[in-house]
Amino acid sequence: MTNTNILISGAGVAGPALAYWLRRRGYTPTVVERAAAPRPGGYAVDFRGAAMTVLERMGILDDIRKCGTTIRDSEVVDTDGRHLVTMPSAIFAGELEVLKSDLTDILYALTKDETEYVFDNSITAIDEDADGVLVSFERGEPRRFDLVVGADGMYSKVRAIAFGDHAKYLHHLGIYNAIFATDNFLNLDYEGIGCQLGPGRTANVFSTRDNTEARASLYFGSDPLDYDRSDVEEQKRIIAAQFAGDGWVIPRLLRDLAASSDLYFTPISQVTMDSWSTGRVVLLGDACACASPLSGRGTSQALIGAYLLAGELATAAGDYEAAFASYENQLRDYVKTNQEGAAEVVAMLFAEPPPQEVFDAMAANPPEADPEFLTLKDY
Ligand SMILES: Cc1cc2nc3c(=O)[nH]c(=O)nc-3n(C[C@H](O)[C@H](O)[C@H](O)COP(=O)(O)OP(=O)(O)OC[C@H]3O[C@@H](n4cnc5c(N)ncnc54)[C@H](O)[C@@H]3O)c2cc1C
């Protein structure tokens, strides 16, 4: 067997899932993660279609079901709190929904005994030669590997090193999202409630952790903003300014925002690239195919991609270029569909508060499971 020694950058969803499948197929993966430990993530992610099959084949579907948020249908209200429509949970929670931190904990526990994890470190350079790659790190000596996988998210460092600046690949969809914890002051019972405040501005509150907590998720439309991604207080000021003067429970949410210690604030962007690999470097998950949270498919893409990439590497028996091409070919249409779906959601968020018929039509037509063309190959 050749090309067995594989470095994966990123221990989110795609990285540990790939480590699992590579181990099963006889490879030796190493995962380097910038954070000091698997990262907590206060938001929920969901699974649909083929991703459920991948979880089953990994033997963790039951463990994940045990952590399921079991979120039920959600209500949409107007700014005076009057009921507009009930949205089926399939629209926003797929077939199964968990907090991202529960998912990353399960994936890490599944792989940690058979995979070398290097936390608190990051790749700084990748020098490829005929026999492999010499990888340099922020800390420690350079190391040799056969292949490098960038599974390091929307702002992938591997992508920046091997393919060039983020600006070439990241496309802002004109909207921002802020998520933070609040008390369950709306007494939500495994449910959510949302309000469209105006074009591009929505607020949603969901109960979490068996109704002991809740999460607020605010969206607002804006051109790209110039702010310091490490300055949380600056981000809070930006968000508060966007929602100042809004009704519903916004004043209460803004007080919780000011006091929050877990704010997650992100532009809603997508990653589009002509090719997901170059030489011995390949990208996986959000690094090459981010569809944005509004697609509801990012986690599924990461899991399915990990399964396909490991399967193709094993099938191609050393021809990594053929494996990279086949992995990408199988996933591209799925990613394109998911990215288009997210763009449609953005357009809807920017509509004037839709009339009742639009809400009713949405509620009556929850999304199908994955498009049928993504049939998982058996390896
Ligand atoms: C608010 C929000 C809500 C979402 N909701 C959903 C949903 O409902 N359904 C769904 O399917 N998806 C959802 N997503 C998307 C989903 O979280 C991602 O698509 C998925 O996590 C992608 O997995 P990944 O492993 O590619 O990237 P990530 O999970 O982002 O993991 C990347 C990892 O790389 C690490 N890293 C970054 N830089 C470096 C570096 N230089 N060196 C080493 N490591 C590095 C990061 O610390 C992180 O651990 C949501 C995302 C957000 C932000």
pLDDT in tens, 347-374: 877 777 666 777 787 777 766 655 555 8
Whole-number pLDDT of residue 229? 87
Whole-number pLDDT of residue 14? 98
Whole-number pLDDT of residue 38? 84
Instruction: Report phi then psi at 343, rounded to 5.
Output: -65, -35
35 lines ligand 1 (CB under 6 A): yes
Whole-number pLDDT of residue 42? 67
With beta carbons less than 8 A apart as the criterion, state whether 115 and 19 touch. yes
Question: Quick one: DSSP state of residue 36?
Answer: S
pLDDT in tens, 69-95: 888 888 999 888 889 889 888 777 888
| 3-class secondary-structure state, position 299 | helix
Whole-number pLDDT of residue 368? 60
Whole-number pLDDT of residue 372? 55
What's the pTM value of the predicted model, to 2 decimals? Answer: 0.93
Q: What is the mean pLDDT of residues 194-215?
A: 90
Mean pLDDT of the residues in the chain: 92
Q: How far apart are CA 133 and CA 38, in angstroms?
A: 26
Distance 15 CA to ligand 1 centre (A): 10
Confidence of residue 200 (pLDDT cuts 50, 70, 90): confident
Instruction: Provide the H-helix boundaries in 4-156.
Output: 14-24, 50-58, 61-66, 89-93, 100-111
* H-helix or E-strand spanning residue 370: none
Instruction: Name residues whose C-beta falls within 8 Å of residue 318's C-beta, 6 or more positions apart in sequence.
Output: 1, 2, 3
Distance 352 CA to ligand 1 centre (A): 31
Instruction: Name residues whose C-beta falls within 8 Å of residue 212's C-beta, 6 or more positions apart in sequence.
Output: 184
Whether residue 152 has pLDDT greater than 70? yes
45 lines ligand 1 (CB under 6 A): yes
Whether residue 50 has pLDDT greater than 60? yes
303 lines ligand 1 (CB under 6 A): no
Whole-number pLDDT of residue 19? 98
With beta carbons less than 8 A apart as the criterion, state whether 301 and 289 touch. yes
With beta carbons less than 8 A apart as the criterion, state whether 91 and 72 touch. no
Q: What is the mean pLDDT of residues 194-214?
A: 90
Whole-number pLDDT of residue 346? 86
Amino acid at 246: D
**Nearest residue (CA) to ligand 1, atom 31:** 12
Distance 154 CA to ligand 1 centre (A): 7
Q: What is the mean pLDDT of residues 170-190?
A: 95
**Nearest residue (CA) to ligand 1, atom 23:** 13
Instruction: Report phi then psi at 331, rounded to 5.
Output: -100, -20
